[in-house]
Chain A
Amino acid sequence: MRDFDYIRPTSIPDAIAAAAEPGSAYLAGGTNLLDLMKGGVTSPERIVDISRLPELNRTERLDDGGLRIGALVRNADLAHDAAFAKDYSAVAEALLSGASAQLRNAATVGGNLLQRTRCSYFYDTASACNKRVSGAGCAALGGENRLHAVLGWSDACIATHPSDFCVPLVALDAVVEIEGTRGRRHVTLEEFHRLPGAAPQRENALEPGDLIVAVRLPAEAASFAANARYLKVRERTSYAFAVVSAAAALVVDDGKIRAARLALGGVAAKPWRARAAEAVLLGADANEATFASAANAALADASPSGDNAFKIELARRIVVRALMSAQAGTPERLPALPASPFSSIPGARHDA
């Protein structure tokens, strides 16, 4: 690992001033950053350790009924917060389906949004990667790419965003609260992550020095509490990134869908909000035929970026399953294998 300066500022303004200097990187849980530094994928000259900044490790209810989650709240603490898990069950389920218990004890809310892709060519410094070295080319195109993107990719980059947490968050209209050298601003999570286009090295809306201080869920997000699920297909039962995942949230009244949210994970460089599918669902009868139409709408623009055409059909099926699971109702207690298609889900077919 390359040598670096280590500083631990005691206030948010001091942290931002330090991190605005070129070559700086914030350190919180460190579960992704230290891995990248050990592999030489990223080599900051200065580490700004924010893990003890006051104010950032609290979750608070806002006057407007929304929820504000501090950027340093640990993944495990949030997922096991009983009040949080009751109102935002799909978010808790997504958190518990990610990584391992050890990593969830260290990883933070803000860091989860900023985790880098798991594309193996990004990690392999001997391979060409436009995300790592702008203009270097993309070894994943024409390489081992069965797990790569099927939506929103470009010839410059076909990597996916690995987060589970972000998938229900983007479905529920989460907003990222950012503090920078010019004060505080709010960016919707949907706008926060960027598609690669010609500049895959620009992954999000952050400018130098910008610090994620919180993630907000609007009041309406809790209205889906009774019918919200996250489903995730993995290549092993636990402790693996998503091949494809989906967060589905419904408000169903008298058999009609009064409100619907849908987002996909593992399919693009950002958590993928499926608004066209939501339009199909809204006002329609809550049944499998409607869900299949929504799945078709969600994947209408999908195309394989390599040996991954199977992910498009897999995504359609997981969308139908997620919607059926949401309709069946949020379970009283999360299943033993959170988000797993192999858990027993009332009303959901295992062969869908």
Chain B
Amino acid sequence: MTSLPISLTVNGHRHELEVDPRVTLLDLLRERLDLTGTKKGCDRGQCGACTVLVDGKRINSCLALALSHDGAEVLTIEGVAHGEELHPVQAAFISHDGFQCGFCTPGQIMSTLGLIAEGQAGNDPERIREGLSGNICRCAAYGGIVEAVLEAQEQLAKANRRTAA
């Protein structure tokens, strides 16, 4: 099969590419765009390490054909910080030890951004755990992750109040 054209906006940068139809969004990000922050864990939709936001929604990039997302806006872990300034979710993961080895962390953070945007969990730890159950952490840093999400939500709410005022 010959390659087909695709246009993707990744972290604000537009890319015009030719891709084999078999290429997943995950492989395109890592192998073609050298954005290796998005991790390939199971590659079968079971671990969540490959989580990115596509048009604002979190999905498993390993179970998405790149061609199927022609024209989409993608946000990966590389696009989350503002220059040298960490996003509040990133900062909270550090201050609460929300990781150990760090392999699942990009997926955890992207999933957290999706969770906060969905607005379903509030500050209920049980709803946060349930909302992040698609992200496996084999170091079992789950306690720190939930604390990080709670704090990040609080920081973001404060920042929003400042903006509103």
Contacts and interface: CB of A to CB of B under 8 A. Distances in A.
Q: Which 10 A-B pairs have CB atoms at the shortest separation, nearest pair first?
A: A100-B134, A6-B21, A238-B133, A336-B126, A239-B133, A105-B57, A336-B127, A102-B134, A102-B60, A34-B63
Interface string B45-67: 10010010000011110111101
Contacts, number: 96
Interface stretch (B10-18, B91-99, B114-122): B114-122
Nearest to B23: A1
Contacts of B133: 100-101, 237-239
Most buried by A among B22, B62, B63, B120: B63
Interface residues of B, number: 35
B23 to A, nearest CB: 10
B65 A1 contact: no
A337 B22 contact: no
B130 interface: yes
B111 A34 contact: no
Nearest to B110: A102
28 contacts: A3-B21, A4-B21, A6-B4, A6-B67, A30-B63, A30-B64, A30-B68, A31-B45, A34-B64, A35-B45, A35-B63, A38-B44, A39-B44, A47-B21, A47-B65, A76-B57, A80-B118, A100-B48, A100-B133, A100-B135, A101-B118, A101-B132, A102-B45, A102-B59, A102-B60, A105-B114, A238-B130, A239-B133
A197 B79 CA distance: 53
B124 A336 contact: yes
Given A8-B67, A102-B114, A103-B45, 15 more contacts: A3-B1, A4-B21, A6-B67, A34-B24, A34-B62, A35-B45, A38-B43, A39-B44, A47-B65, A80-B118, A101-B58, A102-B58, A102-B60, A106-B63, A238-B133
B129 interface: yes
| Interface residue SS majority, chain A | loop
B131 interface: yes
Interface string A283-301: 0000000000000000000
Nearest to B129: A238
A49 interface: yes
A348 interface: no
B48 A30 contact: no
A102 B48 contact: yes
Interface in A97-118: 99-103, 105-106
A330 interface: no
A47 B4 CA distance: 14
Contacts of A8: 67-68
B58 A31 contact: no
Nearest to B60: A102
A233 B111 CA distance: 25
A30 B130 contact: no
A105 B59 contact: yes
A225 interface: no
B68 A49 contact: yes
Interface string B114-152: 110010100010110111111100000000000000000
Interface in A25-53: 27, 30-31, 34-35, 38-39, 47, 49, 51
A30 B65 contact: yes
A63 interface: no
A5 interface: yes
Interface residues of A, number: 31
A15 B124 CA distance: 44
Most buried by B among A4, A100, A238: A100
A1 B44 CA distance: 13
Nearest to A335: B126
Given A3-B22, A47-B21, A27 B68 contact: yes
Contact of B114 (A6, A39, A80, A101): A101
Contacts of B114: 101-102, 105
Contacts of B43: 38
B43 to A, nearest CB: 7
Contacts of A38: 43-44
Contacts of A30: 63-65, 68
B113 to A, nearest CB: 12
A6 B57 CA distance: 24
B111 A102 contact: yes
Given A3-B22, A5-B21, A102 B124 contact: no
A95 B45 CA distance: 17
A277 to B, nearest CB: 30
Interface in A11-34: 27, 30-31, 34
